[in-house]
Amino acid sequence: MLQSTISMLRVENAGKSDEFYTQKLGFAKSWGYDPGNGEPVFLEITRDHVSLHLSEHEGDGPLGIQLYINVDDAQVLHNSLIGSDVNVVEPLYDAEWGHRVFAIEDLDGNILRFGSPI
């Protein structure tokens, strides 16, 4: 039985990404691994029922991927980001598949699309 998934996002600087996701998007750092000496950092952030792994490891995937995150109300989340310095790359719109959707870009070019049923 499948229960959940945790998406991994490749980032250049986990510290800056942690700050972006926690301060701008309301996530909280669950845990992190920093071996020191310039070695890649890996951490997990969580908001509600969504967890993301942020990794500086080059082998963990490319920069600039896209995620779709289901939310209770995309309009409310979108409105909460208005006036912040979050880069909204797709303004709120009603998609043909019956979801209200918008997209943001993180510091590393990863696109997070948020949507909820209309």
The CATH number assigned to the domain holding 90 equals 3.10.180.10
Handedness of CA 83, 21, 38, 59 (dihedral sign): negative
Q: What is the mean pLDDT of residues 32-50?
A: 93
Q: Specify the residue for token string 């959940």.
A: 4
| Predicted structure pTM score | 0.92
- Provide the β-strand partners of residue 77: none
Residue 1 falls inside a structural domain: no
Residue 80 falls inside a structural domain: yes
Q: Is the pLDDT of residue 83 over 90?
A: no
| Residue 31 · residue 45 · CB < 8 Å | no
Residue 2 falls inside a structural domain: no
Query: How many domains does one find in the chain?
Result: 1
Domain that holds residue 21: 7-117
Q: Looking at residue 36, what is its pLDDT?
A: 86
Residue 95 falls inside a structural domain: yes
Helix (H, G, I), strand (E, B) or coil at 22: helix
